[in-house]
Chain A
Amino acid sequence: MSVQQLIFLSLAIVTIFSAIMVVSLRNLLHSALWLVLTLLGVASLFALLEASFFAAVQILVYIGAIAILLIFAVMLTHNIMSVSDSQTNRGWGIAIVLVSIILIALISQLSTWEGFNTALINLNSPGQETVLSLGKGLVDPQGYALPFETASVLLLAALLGGVYIAFDKRIEKKS
């Protein structure tokens, strides 16, 4: 077993275990902290695949922003830590059946696709090349300019919506 395989296996085990902990723990703050570990594991997997840009962005965006925001929200929500309700509702049996059916259907369909079994080609672009080609791909009209711009517009709309909701409506009432 090479070093890479050993590292991959340990990272994969950590990631999956912490992902299970996220959904099974009762204490929401602990779940959020396990989520951080999961995201860190995913980032390490990216790093192992030599996709260092994705690894760094994964940490920056998901851990640095989203997980911190999540922890803030959990901490500031009143009494969320002391809820002793059951974690499942009556529909859990049906949910398990449906989810496993969908999972099996997806996997069986995907495995018939010919791209599923092709070995991936190593990009083999040293240094900045990976980041450069990613950046060019995102703004290239032949590449992914349209999805990129759509995502930007969506994010802008979400931002405006957030500002509108948070906007102080008392000013309108006064006038």
Chain B
Amino acid sequence: MDFFDFISDPILAISKWLFELLNGWGVTADWSNFILYFIGAALLGTSALLLTLIFIWAERKIIGRLQDRYGPNQVGPWGIFQSVADMVKIFIKEHIIPYGVDPVPYHLAPIIIVASVLIVWAIIPFSNSLTETNLNVAVIFLLAVGGIGELGIMMAGWGSNNKYALISAFRASAQMISYEIPMAIVLLIPVLLSSSMAMDDIVNAQKMPFILILLFGALIFFIASIAENGRAPFDLAEAESELVAGFNIEYSGLKFGMFYVADFLRAFTSALIFSTIFLGGWRGPGVETFPILGGLYLTLKSLVIWFLGVWIRGSFPRYRIDQMMNINWKFLTPVSLALFMLAIFFGKLFENYGQNIQYLSILIINLGLFFISLKLINRKEDNLEIPEIGLRSRPVAKPDNLFSKDISRG
């Protein structure tokens, strides 16, 4: 029976054993709790960072296949050790500090950016017994941490003493600040449905995953989280054709590696959040008896969402900055506001008719708003006038043809 307990929930069992061990050594209860939390945080952070190695490889491989090439294929079977090799290379690379950097922001920025991604892992419940911190304001915390990420980007852009880095930092923070708004508004609906801001309660309230009720809301959240991560098609901060490399242009060696890791880890982290809030988190068959299965379900759900993100990244062209701002301020924000207001109104109206009717009304609102906004977008697209930028007749370096003076053919 003891072994069965261990198998069904190994992490809780280990922590219990450690707690008793520390108690046996004469450590008081609050100190040993502190030590246990410390160990847990260190383990979680390290494993998240190590997982990133696999994600980097997988993403490169998937995008390679999407673009009809092989992707990494030399180091190890299917190139699986490519990111390990890259990591070693980045460790031993020369670390160049450009002239005129602002040292403190410059050196602190990569750490802050990685930390702002890792800290989100603290609030995700991995099974019904294993939550790192059952924060009662987890949803606000999630948005607040996004602000710290912005701060890191601003510090990187400023500290680098490079105009491209600065422009990119402005773009990135403008993008993150704006896309936080529809994200926050949509996040309020699951909060209202589960009448709690704690991640645990949100997961527990999802007898039926919220994505089945909030189809459109989940879509808005997904788009906003892609933009928040600054991934294609919203990767304007790293628009190579305009900004050389983005806010991390002056970083090299390990510091560049940290930006890289943060970028790839953020993709999976936002998938984790999406599946916690909209896909029911660790919920799945048999989870009550075997809590360890919860972690597996959560990982599987997140992998699906993560793959969707990678798929989009590999398929869509990049938006222009004004298009991106238009999408947010003229479409996502008003639509999410309307969705939020209608959802509370009808949710409250049908509250007394039982939960099923309430959920059904919210689902109908979601679908209705989705089709209305689809129609609005399509109508706009019909009479959209795309102003031409630049001249048709570009002067091209070519020998003058004395017989035809037609320059428009260039």
Q: Which residues of A contact B (CB under 8 A)?
A: 2-4, 29-30, 33, 36, 52-53, 55-57, 59-60, 63-65, 67-68, 71-72, 75, 127-128, 130-131
Does A60 lie within 8 Å of B143, measured CB to CB? Answer: yes
List of B residues within 8 angstroms of A128 by Cβ? 136, 195-198, 201
User: Which B residue's beta carbon lies closest to that of A54?
Assistant: B137
B325 at the A/B interface (Cβ < 8 Å)? Answer: no
Q: Which of B31, B136, B148, B180 contacts A59 (CB 8 A)?
A: B148
Q: Which of A2, A33, A52 contacts B155 (CB 8 A)?
A: A33
Does A131 lie within 8 Å of B144, measured CB to CB? Answer: no
Does B148 lie within 8 Å of A63, measured CB to CB? Answer: yes
Query: Nearest chain A CB to B224's CB is how many angstroms away?
Result: 15
CA distance A55 to B144 in the complex (A): 10
Does A53 lie within 8 Å of B137, measured CB to CB? Answer: yes
Inter-chain CB contacts under 8 Å: number: 82
Query: Nearest chain A CB to B147's CB is how many angstroms away?
Result: 2
List of A residues within 8 angstroms of B154 by Cβ? 68, 71-72
CA distance A171 to B144 in the complex (A): 39
User: Which B residue's beta carbon lies closest to that of A67?
Assistant: B151
List of B residues within 8 angstroms of A71 by Cβ? 151, 154, 158
Using known A-B contacts A56-B140, A128-B198, determine if residue A33 contacts B147 with beta carbons closer than 8 Å: no
Using known A-B contacts A29-B102, A33-B104, A75-B166, determine if residue A65 contacts B147 with beta carbons closer than 8 Å: yes
B105 at the A/B interface (Cβ < 8 Å)? Answer: yes
Using known A-B contacts A33-B104, A60-B140, determine if residue A68 contacts B30 with beta carbons closer than 8 Å: no
Near A by CB (< 8 A), chain B positions 181-202 give 195-198, 201
Q: Which of B141, B158, B180, B201 contacts A56 (CB 8 A)?
A: B141
List of A residues within 8 angstroms of B30 by Cβ? 2-4
CA distance A29 to B151 in the complex (A): 12
List of B residues within 8 angstroms of A3 by Cβ? 30-31, 34
B135 at the A/B interface (Cβ < 8 Å)? Answer: yes
Does A52 lie within 8 Å of B151, measured CB to CB? Answer: no
Other CB < 8 Å A-B pairs besides A56-B144, A59-B141, A72-B154, 5 of them? Answer: A33-B105, A56-B141, A63-B151, A127-B196, A128-B196
Does B34 lie within 8 Å of A59, measured CB to CB? Answer: no
CA distance A57 to B141 in the complex (A): 8
User: Which A residue's beta carbon lies closest to that of B149?
Assistant: A64
Does B136 lie within 8 Å of A52, measured CB to CB? Answer: yes
Query: Nearest chain B CB to A65's CB is how many angstroms away?
Result: 7
Does A63 lie within 8 Å of B144, measured CB to CB? Answer: yes
User: Which A residue's beta carbon lies closest to that of B174?
Assistant: A72
CA distance A57 to B145 in the complex (A): 11
Q: Which of A36, A56, A75, A130 has the most CB of B within 10 A?
A: A56
CA distance A2 to B147 in the complex (A): 32
Query: Nearest chain B CB to A54's CB is how many angstroms away?
Result: 9
B173 at the A/B interface (Cβ < 8 Å)? Answer: yes
CA distance A72 to B144 in the complex (A): 18
Does A64 lie within 8 Å of B158, measured CB to CB? Answer: no
CA distance A144 to B2 in the complex (A): 54
Query: Nearest chain A CB to B288's CB is how many angstroms away?
Result: 21
List of B residues within 8 angstroms of A53 by Cβ? 136-137, 140
List of A residues within 8 angstroms of B144 by Cβ? 56-57, 59-60, 63-64
Query: Nearest chain A CB to B333's CB is how many angstroms away?
Result: 15
Does B136 lie within 8 Å of A127, measured CB to CB? Answer: yes
List of A residues within 8 angstroms of B97 by Cβ? none
Query: Nearest chain A CB to B400's CB is how many angstroms away?
Result: 45
Q: Which of B137, B147, B170, B198 contacts A64 (CB 8 A)?
A: B147
Near A by CB (< 8 A), chain B positions 119-160 give 134-137, 140-141, 143-148, 150-151, 154-155, 158
- 27 intermolecular pairs with C-beta atoms under 8 Å apart: A3-B31, A29-B102, A30-B104, A53-B137, A56-B137, A56-B140, A56-B141, A56-B144, A57-B144, A59-B141, A60-B143, A60-B144, A63-B147, A64-B148, A64-B150, A64-B180, A65-B177, A68-B150, A71-B151, A71-B158, A72-B154, A72-B170, A72-B173, A127-B134, A127-B136, A128-B195, A128-B201
